Amino acid sequence: MITDTTTSPDVAELTARTRTFVREHVLPVDDRFRGDIEAAGGDDCRRRLQQEARDRGLLAPHAPTDCGGLGLGMVDRSPVFEEAGYSVLGPTALNIAAPDEGNVHLLAVVADQEQRQRFLQPLARGEVRSAFAMTEPAPGAGSDPSALATTAVGDGRGWRIRGRKWFITGADGAGFFIVMARTSGVPGDRGGATMFLVPGDAPGLTVERHIGTLDRSMVGGHCEVRFEDVRVEPEDVLGAVDAGFQYAQVRLGPARMTHVMRWLGAARRAHDVALLQAADRQVFGGRLADQGMAQQAIADNEIDIAATRALLMDACRALDAGSRAADETSIAKTFAAEAIFRVVDRSMQLCGGAGVSDDLPVARIFREVRPFRIYDGPSEVHRWAIARRAVARALKEAGRA
């Protein structure tokens, strides 16, 4: 089946303007600082780039229009986010980087009006950053969210949160956190979690350390955070008490797909660099691009890019139609994380020694995309879920459910 990836004229025009902005204004910063957002100035760099995007009408294309965004659905986001991802700093420039992008989506669906004003609107405008605090050190919540160990205990006037989180992206300098804490049951129970909106300067909230990781493009790092009797008010509950795992699904499926969009753009840049290297480099009396093994790598990259985009669009259509799209997003995320890695890895091989050096952007793109096979659910966990659902469907169709 051929997947239709055409867009409306308005989205095509927005995509073209995003492409121009990223290549003319963001890539020079990316290349100068080798994709390291902190070396480029951290939040100061973010604010400068976002102001330029705002001036061009490109900021927050995914956010609701009443919050200053462009209100794009998942299908329409795809080409725009992909062009932003052509630079590893492009998503930050458009205010569509993780975790803020996913938090905007979650708040747009779940937050009440007062919470939209306090949290969603400043986030969509780029006035603050945010963090999503769910992952915990073992044996807490990781690939298995039901292991959630952080607790929120009611004290008659509000809640007190106690626990530890880690690999919390953007935690250092975040204006607020969306914190997943257990309000009923025990670790291992599939329910009993609640989401809380916690200001970044709340007493008892401590960003203890940055966890060193391969990637360098996300403002605020990946951090370990301690919550020690952090008090929150009743109005700081996001949605309903004990419904946190349900709301997490609102965020996770779309956020996985926007990760695919962004990193597909990065893989395309690595591929484009490799194409020019292969076309220009002379080896064994001819161009590298004319060698059979190089042609196979180039063709396989083209195939992986096209297949990733097709699966992505299939999942986005399902999400736009209101489906949870559990199968579609798991399949697209698993395939894309591995295909994108293959594209960048082949591109590095085609570039030879230059590919592993700082002379080309391929090495830093490799550094950025490798964690995607772990972020937002390891490939192995998605395969387990895909297989489990497939067996359940087979039994149901056979009348044995």
Q: Is the pLDDT of residue 5 over 70?
A: no
Give me the count of residues in the chain. Answer: 401
Read off the pLDDT band of 1 (50, 70, 90).
very low
298 and 352, same domain (yes or no): yes
Closest by CA position to 120, among listed 44, 197, 195? 197
Q: Is the pLDDT of residue 4 over 60?
A: no
3 in any annotated domain: no
Q: From CA 220, how far away is CA 144, in angstroms rounded?
A: 25
State the pLDDT at residue 358.
96
Higher pLDDT, 208 or 7: 208
330 in any annotated domain: yes
Concatenated DSSP letters of 209-232 = EEPP-S---STT-EEEEEEEEEEE
256 and 363, same domain (yes or no): yes
Residue 85: give its domain's CATH number: 1.10.540.10
Read off the pLDDT band of 22 (50, 70, 90).
very high
With contact defined as beta carbons under 8 Å apart, do 249 and 145 qualify? no
State the pLDDT at residue 340.
98
Residue 211: give its domain's CATH number: 2.40.110.10
310 and 185, same domain (yes or no): no
With contact defined as beta carbons under 8 Å apart, do 63 and 124 qualify? yes
255 in any annotated domain: yes
pLDDT tens digit sequence for 178-234: 999 999 999 999 899 999 999 999 999 999 999 999 999 999 999 999 999 999 999
347 and 392, same domain (yes or no): yes
Read off the pLDDT band of 2 (50, 70, 90).
very low
The tally of domains found in the chain comes to 3
Q: What is the DSSP letter of 4?
A: P
pLDDT tens digit sequence for 27-54: 999 999 999 999 999 999 999 999 999 9
What is the mean pLDDT of the segment spanning 378-401?
Answer: 96
Burial (0-12, 13-18, 19+ Cβ within 10 Å), 387? exposed
266 and 207, same domain (yes or no): no
Which of 73, 91, 124 corresponds to the end of one domain?
124
State the pLDDT at residue 198.
98
388 in any annotated domain: yes
Which of 96, 124, 152 corresponds to the end of one domain?
124
State the pLDDT at residue 6.
66
State the pLDDT at residue 7.
81
393 and 253, same domain (yes or no): yes
385 and 252, same domain (yes or no): yes
What is the mean pLDDT of the segment spanning 275-283?
Answer: 97
Residue 356: give its domain's CATH number: 1.20.140.10
What is the mean pLDDT of the segment spanning 88-101?
Answer: 98
378 and 344, same domain (yes or no): yes
What is the mean pLDDT of the segment spanning 50-60?
Answer: 98
368 in any annotated domain: yes
Share of residues in the chain with pLDDT > 90 (%):
97
Which of 210, 242, 274 corresponds to the end of one domain?
242
170 and 57, same domain (yes or no): no
261 and 377, same domain (yes or no): yes
217 in any annotated domain: yes
Q: Is the pLDDT of residue 156 over 90?
A: no
State the pLDDT at residue 401.
80
DSSP reduced 3-state for 371: helix
State the pLDDT at residue 200.
98
Q: Is the pLDDT of residue 342 over 60?
A: yes
1 in any annotated domain: no
59 and 196, same domain (yes or no): no
310 in any annotated domain: yes
Q: What is the DSSP letter of 383?
A: H
Q: Domain range spanning residue 364? A: 246-397
238 and 250, same domain (yes or no): no
With contact defined as beta carbons under 8 Å apart, do 348 and 368 qualify? no
Q: What is the mean pLDDT of the chain?
A: 96
